[in-house]
Structure 1
Amino acid sequence: MDRKRIVALLVPVVTLAACGQPDPQAVTPSPTPTVTAPSAPATPASPTPPPAEPTPAAAATPAAASPTLTPDAERGETGARDVLLDFARAIELGRVDQAWALLSPADRRKWTRPAFRALFADLDRPTVAVPTGVIEGAAGSSYYTAPVTITGTDRSGRPVRIEGEAVLRRVNDVDGSTPAQRRWHFQSLSLDWTH
């Protein structure tokens, strides 16, 4: 064969190979092995590291990153619900320490960390419902009150229902108030087993 004809035959094959498309006229290769140029050694995929145990600082962070709110939304009902939903997600994801860290100091004294864990220890696949609540203002503060219902099953498969109420508070932009006081935070939480 002359050189022009060989080039003319190879161009479509090379073009198709470059596109990752099979050559419709390609001949099935013979079973004899072919030699290819060595390529760079493949880098083994690194395994995903196991999740780290939560540190005390991590226990105070929300269960999932919430979107950043505008200052007006942060001060309003949306900001209050954001904190309440962080609490609900933490319970549902089994991150009870994170939910506990969101509670008020008084509620953390009422339920020590081990006591709060014990509330959910036998609860399989908990679901937390936090319907829309009511926002009210009084004496320089805003309060958001919402019902909380936690359902699941115990280890015997029986349905479990825990009902209560969450009250969140934020100090309105009062002179002398701290940034922490001006953010929504738990004022109180009540939870009662109703089975």
Structure 2
Amino acid sequence: MKKIATIVALLLPSWACTPSNNQQQNEAPPAAPAAPVAPAPPSPPPARTAPSAPAPKESLPEPKGPIDPKSTEAAGQVVQSYGALIEQKRWKEANALWGHNEIAASFQKSLSSYREVHLEIGNLGQAEGAAGSIFVTMPVVFYGVGRDEKPFRRPAEVVLRRVNDVDGSTEAQRRWHIDQINWGA
């Protein structure tokens, strides 16, 4: 008896779900089976990405128009130009950004001992006046590869100077120029 009750319990749900003859006549015939779909080609392996480089240091903001050659922003451009020129080993042009030829030549000699030199630029300091001149300091890091293939990083401060528009000053003195570069600790 239990077997019959179990069989009825199993069949009852399927019988209740079976459509009546009237319902079958009103319904559309079942759709033909769809054509087999070709399997999708395997996806290519993920591309290898190079390890991410460290985020570059923040550089000077882009000028929003002509730059006043007397502004500290113009002093910052002198350092940017110097960095670009030493990377390309364009020493004559790089040295022309200095106010003192002998100091420029000496500094060139120390930098040219490296196989590769780059310049990381910090934020300009505040302009300060003294004895008819304006000075501004910018922290930098010289980095690259030595002749021995070892990397190097040397912090420094670039001191820029321009003479105020005083009687007897030359045009070259009134432009921003590198006055000195002091190596950091």
Tell me the TM-score normalised to structure 2 length: 0.55
Equivalent residue number for residue 5 of structure 2? none
1:96–1:117 contact (8 Å) kept in structure 2: no
Match of 2:150 among 136, 140, 158: 158
Give unpaired runs (5+ residues) of structure 1: 1-66
Name the amino acid aligned to 2:119.
Answer: V
Gaps in structure 2 of 5+ consecutive residues: 1-62
Q: Which runs of 4+ in 1 moved over 3 A?
A: 110-113
Match of residue 81 from structure 1 = 76
Task: Give 1:1-195 correspondences, 5 Å limit.
Answer: 70=66, 73-105=68-100, 108-110=101-103, 112=105, 116-124=108-116, 126-134=117-125, 135-191=127-183
**Identity of paired residues, percent?**
35
RMSD between superposed Cα atoms in Å: 2.7
Instruction: Give CA deviations for 1:88-113 in whole Å, capped at 9, x if unaligned.
Output: 111112223322232232xx434646
1:138 to 1:122, Cα distance in 2 relative to 1, 3 A? closer
Offset at residue 80 of structure 1 (A): 0.7
Letter in 2 for 1:128: L
Aligned length: 121
**Structure 1 residue 168: deviation in Å?**
1.0
Structure 2 CA distance, aligned partners of 1:118 and 1:149?
15
Distance 1:157 1:187 in 2: 31
Any idea what SS the aligned residue of 1:73 has? coil
Structure of larger gyration radius: 2
Q: Is the 8 A contact 1:151 1:159 kept in 2?
A: yes
